[in-house]
Amino acid sequence: LLSTSAVRSAVLQSPHPEIHVPDASFAEHMMRDWEKYSNNVALVDGATGETVSYSMLKDRVIRCASALTRMGFKKGDVLALYAHNVPDYATVFIAVGVLGGTVTALNPLYTIDELSTQLKRSSSSILVVAPSSVKNAIAAKSQCPNVKEVIVFGNVDGIRPFTNLLEDDGHAFPENVDINVDEDVLALPYSSGTTGLPKGVMLTHKNIVANVEQLRHHGVMGYVPLSDCLVGVLPFFHIYGQVVTLFTGLAAGVKIVTMPKFTLDDYLHIVHRHRATSLHVVPPIALRMAKYPDIHKFDLSSVRQVFSAAAPLSDTLSEEFSTVTGLSDIKQCYGLTETSPVTHCCPPRSWKSGSIGVPVPNTKHKIVDIESNTPQGPMQEGELCVQGPQVMKGYANNPEATAECIKDGWFHTGDIGYLDADGHVFISDRLKELIKFKGFQVPPAELEAVILTNPAVLDVAVIGVDDEEAGELPKAFVVVKPHAQLLEIELQDYVKTKVAPYKRLRGGVEFVQEIPKTPTGKILRRMLKNRDQK
Ligand code: 4UU
C-alpha cells in the first residue's frame, strides 16, 4: 500500500498556473471581446467564400435569438443541429445559449433512424438542417411529435429558410434570461461512454466556458487575436471541432474558414490561400498529408502549430508528418465528449512524441489500478482519471451511468495509460468497449442492437480491429440461427441501410458457434480481440 503522502503525490496538479474561469454564460463569454474585433473576419464559408465579420455575427445572433423567441423557443428547450460546417452553425449555437436553451448536434450523415432516436431522446423542439438533409429531417419529424419546426440553411421549397430568421428585426431579443452557469445545460452531445448505447452528455455553460479559457491559455493553444487563422474542417457536431476550433477560435477573435466536407486537396488549398496558422487534425488527416505526393505544391509556411486528438497518433506517423510536410511537430491533445473535451495537451516547449502531454490549467489527474482503484506510481499502467471544471454535469436522465464514471469527484476516462517521471501521460490502451473509426465514436452496443434485428442472427458481438488509416474498423462476430443462412456481404449490406457510413462493418464478419460471455451475460470483448489478433 502507498503511504498517504505517496498517494497524495500520485494525484498531480496541472503544471500550468491556475486561471480564472468567469461565471459568465456561454453567449456572454463568447461575445465579451467582440467590440474589439468588430469589422475583422470571424468566419469564411470555404465553399462559397461568404465572409462574416464579428459585428455581423453579433447582429445575426441577436436576430436569430429574437426569431427563435417568436417561435416560442425558450429557456430549457432543445434545438437539434443536423448539418455540416457552415458559418451560421455559430449563430445558432450562440443564439440558443442567449435564450438559456440547449443544442444537441448530430452528424448530417445519420440515417432517419439515428436522427429520430436522438431527436426523441433529447426532446428537441426545433430541427435545423442542411439542404441535403431535408428529406431525412421531414421523415424523422413525422416520427417525433416533439419536433415542431424544421429550418434549413439554404433554400428548399416548403421549408423555412434560416435567412428568414436573420430578417427578424431583433425586437424580441430577451435582455435578461436568468442562466445558472453551473446547472443549465448548453450542449447535449451523445457519447456511449464506457459501455452501452449513446447517452446525452450534459455540458453546462460553465463546462464550455472553462474549456474555452483553458485552451486560450498561452501554454495550451494560445491563439493570437486578429492574426490567427484556423480551418474549421473537423465537424462542428463533434466536440473537437465545436469547442476547440469554433468556440475557442471565436472567443479569441481569430478567423475561421469553414469546410463542409473534407477532401485533402480542398483542405490544403484553404490552408495555403487563407494562410492558416493553427491546424487541428485527427490522425487519419495527418496520415493523408504525410502520404500525399503533391504536398509540396502548397505553401504551408503560415502554419505555426499542429494539434492532433480524438485517437492515438503513433510516433512513426508524427515523425513522418513533420519530415514530409516540413511543419512543426504535432502536439497531441486528449479529451472526451464528457470533458468538454480537452483535459490534456502537450506543452509547447517540452512535448514528447507519443505523449498526450500534461493536464490543461485547473485540471488534476491520476492513474489508478483498475482493480483496487489505488493511485499508481510513474511508469505503472492504470486507468486515467481527471478532475476539473470541464467535467460534464452527468448523463441526461441516467444517474446510474453517471455514477459509474464519476466516483468521489473523479471522472474515470475508460482509457489506460501511464505517467512518465516528468508527469507526462502516455495512453496505451482502452478499457472501455468503444470503437473509434477516424476519431468518430462507434458504440459496439449500438451496432449489436442493429445486427440483432436481422432475422437470421441469433447472437452477435462487435469489436474494433486495428487499421493503419482509420485507427479501428468495426468487426462483427455472429452466431447464425439454426437452419438460417447469412453471407458476410448480406449482413454488411443490411447494416449499411441502418447506420451512418462511418459505422459500417468494414472490419468484416466472422461466423462463430458462440459468443464468449461472463456468467452474468457480459460479452468478453477482450477475448474476441485477442483471438482476432492471433
Ligand atoms: C488516444 O474524441 C474526443 C475528443 C477529442 C479531443 C479533441 C480535441 C480531445 C482534445 C482536443 O484538443 O471525444 P470522444 O468522446 O469522441 O472520444 C473520447 C475518446 C477517449 O476516451 C480516448 O479513447 O477518444 C480517445 N482519444 C484519444 N486516444 C481522444 N484523444 C486521444 C488521444 N490519444 N490523443
For 141-186, the DSSP string reads HHH-TT--EEEESS--TTSEEHHHHHTS-STT--S-----TTTSEE
Partners of 43 in beta bridges: 52, 256
What region does 439 belong to: left with phi over 0, alpha with psi -120 to 50, or beta? left
The CA 346 to ligand 1 mean position distance, Å, reads 14
The CA 130 to ligand 1 mean position distance, Å, reads 27
Specify the pLDDT at position 1: 40
Is 341:187 a contact under the CB 8 Å cutoff?
A: no
Which protein residue has the closest C-alpha to ligand 1 atom 2?
310
- Residue 342 Cβ inside 6 Å of ligand 1? The answer reads yes
> Which residue in 471, 504, 442 sits closest to 197, CA to CA?
442
Alpha-carbon gap, residue 502 to 108, rounded angstroms: 12
Task: Report the run of H or E that residue 9 belongs to, with start and end.
Answer: helix 4-10
- DSSP summary character for residue 367: E
**Virtual torsion, Cα 438, 444, 450, 455, nearest 10 deg:** 120
Indicate the residue type of 277.
Answer: T
Nine-digit cell at 160? 423555412
Helix (H, G, I), strand (E, B) or coil at 393: coil
Specify the pLDDT at position 329: 81
Is 357:425 a contact under the CB 8 Å cutoff?
A: yes
Alpha-carbon gap, residue 76 to 83, rounded angstroms: 22
Helix (H, G, I), strand (E, B) or coil at 74: coil
Is 215:242 a contact under the CB 8 Å cutoff?
A: no
The verdict on ipTM greater than 0.90 is yes
CA distances from 43 to 65, 154, 326 (A): 19, 17, 27
Map 316-346 to HEC letters: HHHHHHHHHHCCCCEEEEEECHHHCCEEEEC
The CA 356 to ligand 1 mean position distance, Å, reads 10
Nine-digit cell at 171? 425586437
> Which residue in 416, 437, 414 sits closest to 427, CA to CA?
416
Is 414:472 a contact under the CB 8 Å cutoff?
A: no
The CA 381 to ligand 1 mean position distance, Å, reads 18
β-bridge pairing 160-161 and 406-407:
unpaired
- Residue 383 Cβ inside 6 Å of ligand 1? The answer reads no
Alpha-carbon gap, residue 135 to 126, rounded angstroms: 16
Alpha-carbon gap, residue 506 to 511, rounded angstroms: 15
Is 274:301 a contact under the CB 8 Å cutoff?
A: no
- DSSP summary character for residue 132: G
* Cβ neighbours of residue 59 closer than 8 Å, sequence gap 6 or more: 170
- Residue 214 Cβ inside 6 Å of ligand 1? The answer reads no
Candidate of 223, 234, 334 to mutate for ligand 1, largest count of ligand atoms within 8 Å of Cβ: 334
What's the burial of 4, exposed, middle or buried (CB within 10 Å: 0-12/13-18/19+)? exposed
- Residue 426 Cβ inside 6 Å of ligand 1? The answer reads no
Atom nearest to 307 CA in ligand 1? 12
Is 428:244 a contact under the CB 8 Å cutoff?
A: no
- Residue 386 Cβ inside 6 Å of ligand 1? The answer reads no
> Which residue in 406, 335, 337, 434 sits closest to 104, CA to CA?
337
How far does CA 47 lie from the centroid of its chain?
Answer: 22
- Residue 415 Cβ inside 6 Å of ligand 1? The answer reads yes
Specify the pLDDT at position 9: 60
Q: Where are the extended beta strands (E) located within 364-437?
A: 364-368, 382-387, 394-395, 406-407, 410-419, 425-430, 435-437
Alpha-carbon gap, residue 303 to 239, rounded angstroms: 23
> Which residue in 249, 284, 294 sits closest to 89, CA to CA?
249
**Residue-by-residue pLDDT tens, the chain, 534 positions:** 444 444 446 779 999 999 999 999 999 999 999 999 999 999 999 999 999 999 999 999 999 999 999 999 999 999 999 999 999 999 999 999 999 999 999 999 999 999 999 999 999 999 999 999 999 999 999 999 999 999 999 999 999 999 999 999 999 999 889 999 999 999 999 999 999 999 999 999 999 999 999 999 988 999 999 999 999 999 999 999 999 999 999 999 999 999 999 999 999 999 999 999 999 999 999 999 999 999 999 999 999 999 999 999 999 999 999 999 999 889 999 999 999 999 999 987 778 889 999 999 999 999 999 999 999 999 999 999 999 999 999 999 999 999 999 999 999 999 999 999 999 999 999 999 999 999 999 999 999 999 999 999 999 999 999 999 999 999 999 999 999 999 999 999 999 999 999 999 999 999 999 999 998 899 999 999 988 876
The CA 417 to ligand 1 mean position distance, Å, reads 13
The CA 281 to ligand 1 mean position distance, Å, reads 12
The single residue listed with the C-alpha cell 447494416 is 495
Query: Which pTM was predicted?
Result: 0.96
